[in-house]
Amino acid sequence: MGNRVFDPLDDGQKAVVDQFRDFVRINVRPNAVAWDESQTMDRGVIAELAGKGWLGALAPREYGGQDMDPFLWGAFCEEIGSASSSLLGLPTVHGMAIQSVARWGTSEQKTRLLPGLASGQTLGAFALTEPEVGSDAGSIQCQAVQSGTNIRINGQKQWITYGQIADLFVVVARLEDKPTAFLVPRNTSGLQIRPVKDMLGFRAAELADLQFDDCEVPIECMLGQPGFGFSHVAGTALDHGRFCIAWGCVGLAEGCLQIAMQHSLERKQFGKTLSEHQLIQQMLANMLVGNRAARGLCLQAADLKQKQDPQVIMETSIAKYFASQHAASASRDAVQILGGLGCSSSGHVERFFRDAKVMEIIEGSNQIQQIIISRHATMQYRKNSRANVK
Ligand SMILES: Cc1cc2nc3c(=O)[nH]c(=O)nc-3n(C[C@H](O)[C@H](O)[C@H](O)COP(=O)(O)OP(=O)(O)OC[C@H]3O[C@@H](n4cnc5c(N)ncnc54)[C@H](O)[C@@H]3O)c2cc1C
């Protein structure tokens, strides 16, 4: 999408981005409205993504993945996000499951689960949110109790993206009062999956609520140690989720700019094209500058991810915060520039507008990102002040 001022991709990677772009042009953009209207994701497009190895691209090579470079993965999310946020939800949550297992799994768990996740034969999802607990995720109430060699889970999880079709859930529950992650296969008895319909955005992302009633899994399904569920496993998963959403927002905002630009050049009012009216130019300029800034922050996060720099977590929060806020603003402006047409469900911008609002809430709402960013900045400031006094 768009002009890249700074482009870290080499020629081989650019050729792969061309493949992403062709895939989106042929398979995603023409169908995104229909998926949104039917509130279901086409199984064919999921199979195509899996077949190309893109769903599990971040899994380690030794388990059948591609260890995909963060810049390339960012470009992938950007391209998918430019056409369908609902589809973007799949590599996001599937990747959250992959990252959780790859980072915190035992070698037995990795050998058993990663090949299926890497090939896309097994679809993963991530279940943290509950009816009473959202932003304050460390306070989850779902209970896990050890019973012999099994773990018995009771409680509820809410709004789980791709929960309707996922084969494997990373579930965070309290074990002896410590948030702990578990790998729960879909067909486990005691797990009920209820489809969620009619959300504002992400309408084709197959959301589900999960009900656990004495749902038993072997103790080998524990992922990481007791107490690691929120601080470690969810930390890894959410960092990945924010990275995907930040890049997806760049794509969404760029999609808005392209549509708004084309419309403003074609549509005439008061004897001249919309693009010649200064108030429209102001919106177009803000959209373009915001897109550049959001992409710059995403590139910064990708660079740190590639270098495995611990600062990446903060830079990813910053990128997600800015990019989602900008996507919401760009989609609002795109609707404005298209006028009544922008309010019609037959085009893309009305859907972008609804999906962009969701981007400001998921993977840690923007208020939570602001809290994280400002706490970190304060800590850095104090540290630097102390160093300067010495
Ligand atoms: C489409 C969609 C898909 C989702 N997919 C998943 C998924 O796959 N897995 C999953 O686990 N969850 C998922 N969620 C849930 C999502 O992560 C939560 O909605 C989100 O974390 C916010 O929690 P909440 O909705 O309970 O809002 P609350 O936590 O109740 O917050 C409500 C409002 O208060 C603000 N707020 C909260 N605390 C503070 C504070 N300390 N200071 C200032 N403001 C505050 C929030 O920013 C928000 O604006 C999904 C949600 C949606 C809408």
In angstroms, what is the span from residue 362 Cα to ligand 1's centroid?
Answer: 6
Ligand 1 within 6 A of CB of 20 = no
In angstroms, what is the span from residue 200 Cα to ligand 1's centroid?
Answer: 14
Q: Which helix (H) or strand (E) holds 272?
A: strand 272-273
Query: Residue 201 CA: which ligand 1 atom is closest?
Result: 1
pLDDT in tens, 199-234: 999 999 999 999 999 999 999 999 999 999 999 999
Ligand 1 within 6 A of CB of 196 = no
Predicted confidence (pLDDT) at residue 1 exceeds the cutoff of 70: no
Ligand 1 within 6 A of CB of 247 = no
d(CA 280, CA 263): 11
Ligand 1 within 6 A of CB of 204 = no
Q: What architecture is domain 124-225?
A: Beta Barrel (2.40)
Ligand 1 within 6 A of CB of 142 = no
Q: What is the pLDDT of residue 5?
A: 62
Question: 235-266 and 70-81 helices cross at what angle (nearest 10)?
Answer: 50
pLDDT in tens, 141-165: 999 999 999 999 999 999 999 999 9
Q: What is the pLDDT of residue 4?
A: 55
In angstroms, what is the span from residue 67 Cα to ligand 1's centroid?
Answer: 30
Q: Which residues contact 43 (CB under 8 A, 6 or more apart)?
A: none
In angstroms, what is the span from residue 107 Cα to ligand 1's centroid?
Answer: 33
Query: Residue 133 CA: which ligand 1 atom is closest?
Result: 26
d(CA 362, CA 328): 13
pLDDT in tens, 300-319: 999 999 999 999 999 999 99
Q: What is the pLDDT of residue 194?
A: 98
Nearest Cα neighbor of 117 from 240, 207, 246 is 240
To the query of whether residue 363 is one of the catalytic residues in this protein, the response is: yes
pLDDT category of residue 7 using cuts at 50, 70 and 90: confident
Q: What is the pLDDT of residue 385?
A: 87
Pocket-testing residue among 100, 133, 135, ligand 1, by greatest number of atoms within 8 A of Cβ: 135
pLDDT in tens, 353-387: 999 999 999 999 999 999 999 999 999 899 888 88
Ligand 1 within 6 A of CB of 249 = no
> pTM for this one?
0.97
pLDDT category of residue 237 using cuts at 50, 70 and 90: very high
Predicted confidence (pLDDT) at residue 99 exceeds the cutoff of 60: yes
Question: 43-51 and 85-104 helices cross at what angle (nearest 10)?
Answer: 50
Among the listed residues 206, 254, 350, 363, the single catalytic one is 363
In angstroms, what is the span from residue 134 Cα to ligand 1's centroid?
Answer: 5
**DSSP secondary structure letters along 54-80:** -TTTTS-GGGT-----HHHHHHHHHHH
pLDDT in tens, 38-69: 999 999 999 999 999 999 999 999 999 999 99
d(CA 6, CA 237): 28
Nearest Cα neighbor of 158 from 199, 187, 125, 128 is 128
Bridge partners (DSSP) of residue 356 are none
Looking up tokens 């993965």 gives 73
Ligand 1 within 6 A of CB of 127 = yes
Q: What architecture is domain 11-119?
A: Orthogonal Bundle (1.10)
Mean pLDDT of 178-190: 98
Q: Supply the residue whose CA is at minimum distance from atom 27 of ligand 1.
A: 134
Query: Residue 207 CA: which ligand 1 atom is closest?
Result: 3
CATH (residue range 230-381): 1.20.140.10
Domain ranges of the chain: 11-119, 124-225, 230-381
Q: What is the pLDDT of residue 3?
A: 54
In angstroms, what is the span from residue 2 Cα to ligand 1's centroid?
Answer: 31
Query: Residue 205 CA: which ligand 1 atom is closest?
Result: 1
Q: What is the pLDDT of residue 387?
A: 83
